[in-house]
């Protein structure tokens, strides 16, 4: 019977998956805060709030899918999770100021200022994304070759 292919590292996969779940929760928190913010003042959605809400929900959904494949110890799932987290951090810190015309200093102050509910959510999402990307890279880079299930007739 052929040996199973390499799998992602078990411990790093579990840790990366848990961190991805925490990151997804922070993204949903950020999106829901923007929903409350949009319906609070005048009941109208601004373009920033709409992008924040849609981006938070879509990002959380993608992270959940990649986290599932990482929990399943798929190497491609771990690298996809790593890439999504790096993309999120890059988009939050560097692309958002370009999109909305704010300075990098103002964006960094918003992200790491822990000001109000959305500031805390985005800061924790960025921190968890960096940690998730690191653990997912470890999970994808350190391969395991042990069998994933007992094989009938295998007497080791």
3-state secondary structure the chain: CCCCCCEECHHHHHHHHHHHHHHHHHHHHHHHHHHHHHHHCCCCCCHHHHHHHHHHHHHHHHHHHHHHHHHCCCHHHHHHHHHHHHHHHHHHHHHHHHHHCCCHHHHHHHHHCCCHHHHHHHHHHHHHHHHHHHHHHHHHHCEECCCCCCCCCCCC
Write down the pTM of the prediction.
0.83
- Residue 43 has a pLDDT of 66
Q: What is the average pLDDT value for the chain, to the nearest integer?
A: 86
pLDDT tens sequence across 13-53: 999 999 999 999 999 999 988 887 766 666 677 777 888 88
């Amino acid at each position: 019977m052929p040996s199973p292919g390499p799998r992602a590292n078990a411990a790093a996969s579990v840790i990366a998956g848990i961190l991805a779940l925490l990151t997804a929760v922070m993204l949903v928190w950020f999106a829901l805060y923007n929903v409350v913010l949009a319906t609070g003042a005048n009941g109208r959605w601004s373009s920033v709030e709409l992008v924040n809400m849609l981006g938070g929900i879509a990002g959380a959904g993608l992270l959940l899918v990649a986290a599932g494949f990482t929990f399943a110890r798929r190497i491609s799932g771990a690298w996809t999770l790593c890439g999504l987290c790096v993309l999120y951090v890059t988009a939050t810190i560097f692309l958002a100021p370009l999109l909305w015309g704010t300075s990098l200093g103002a964006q960094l102050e918003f992200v790491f200022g822990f000001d109000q509910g959305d500031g805390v959510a985005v800061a924790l999402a960025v921190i968890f994304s960096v940690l998730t990307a690191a653990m997912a890279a470890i999970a994808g880079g350190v391969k395991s070759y042990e069998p994933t299930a007992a094989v009938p007739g295998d007497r080791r």
